[in-house]
Amino acid sequence: MDLGFVSLNTPRDLAPDTLAVELESRGFESIWVGEHPQIPVAAGDQFPPALLAAQKQMWDPLLSLLTAARATTTLRLGTAVALPLERELFTTAKQVATLDQMSGGRLLLGVGVGVRAELEVTGSIAWADRYRALADMVAALDALWTADEAEHHGPFFDFDAVWSYPKPQQRPRPPLLAAATGPNAIRECVGWADGWLPGDAAFRDVAGALADFRRTAEDAGRDPATLDLTIMAWGDPKLDKLAAYRDMGFNRAVLGGGRRNADDPSTTMAFLDRYAAMVDELRS
């Protein structure tokens, strides 16, 4: 199992290129950043108070990952998570493909539907339709990423033939990991997802949740063995917990929720040093 690290990705944190170099030098497999294109002021009380100050300052994830890509050679670049429904379709297709090309095919896209207030302020998709709309957007993106003359006619995204380049370096696309935890959400996403990206704080029984996910995938005609299984391991997980995730079948654990002070980069470095000592053991 590989280790990744998620940053709040604000001006107070280590810059993405600086952080990426530190991660790659310590043997981490990947860097991850989240996304909040906007947060409605009226909905501020729906966010964890300790995180709201940071979340409303987040840099753009794709631009941040581009700076990380230019500073490294092997580190994979992930979103945890991107919110495609809050982005314009054609611009998203081009930006993702450009980043994948410029990084040499290192992009991983964790995707989700975000928070109700964030989606509704865009005025384009009703909250009740969010998972159907996300599936339709993925289908539209697939057309743009794979076809010379791409067209798509779905219930939420509908366009006649267009040219849209570049195409991603990874074929047919960068892996899309569904950040879905509830049973209904998983059923809605498992048909198109290339993997699963849950947070361990969402479950009392991670092993049971993983078994349920695999059964849902099989019911949808998917082979669970072909899916990328990444877990967001919050807090300061010990080696035995991470090893248990590895033994369950997760191929990646993403760290970053531990006790760190974003105003003091040395606390992030100490965190990275502590887990760098576990990298080789978890890969064995």
User: pLDDT tens-digit profile of 133-163?
Assistant: 999 999 999 999 999 999 999 999 999 999 9
Q: Give the per-residue pLDDT at 241.
A: 98
Q: Give the per-residue pLDDT at 258.
A: 62
User: pLDDT tens-digit profile of 230-273?
Assistant: 999 999 999 999 999 999 999 999 999 765 665 676 789 999 99
Q: Give the per-residue pLDDT at 94.
A: 98
Q: Give the per-residue pLDDT at 214.
A: 98
Q: What are phi and psi of 199, to 5 degrees?
A: -100, 140
Instruction: Locate 134 and state its tokens.
Output: 């996300």
Confidence of residue 124 (pLDDT cuts 50, 70, 90): confident
Distances (CA, A) of 81 to 26, 40, 101, 266: 24, 18, 20, 26
- Percent of the chain clearing pLDDT 90 (strictly above): 89
Q: Which CATH number covers residue 275?
A: 3.20.20.30
On average, the pLDDT of the chain sits at 95
Residue 83 CA to residue 130 CA, distance in Å, equals: 11
User: Which of 5-19, 139-153, 209-223, 257-271 comes out lowest in average pLDDT?
Assistant: 257-271
- What average pLDDT does this structure show over 179-197? 97
User: Which of 43-52, 88-97, 199-208 comes out lowest in average pLDDT?
Assistant: 43-52
Query: In which domain, by residue range, is 68 found?
Result: 2-283
Domain count, the chain: 1
| Amino acid, single-letter form, for residue 49 | P
First to last CA, the chain: 8
Q: Give the per-residue pLDDT at 264.
A: 72
Long-range pairs of 242-249 with CB within 8 A, sequence gap ≥ 24: 242/1, 242/3, 242/278, 242/282, 243/281, 243/282, 244/207, 245/1, 245/200, 245/206, 246/1, 246/282, 248/206, 248/207, 248/210, 249/210
Q: Give the per-residue pLDDT at 262.
A: 58
Q: Give the per-residue pLDDT at 260.
A: 60
Q: Give the per-residue pLDDT at 259.
A: 55
pLDDT above 80 (res 228): yes
Q: Give the per-residue pLDDT at 43.
A: 87
Instruction: Locate 283 and state its tokens.
Output: 């890969």
- What average pLDDT does this structure show over 53-72? 96
Cβ within 8 Å of residue 205, ≥6 positions away: none
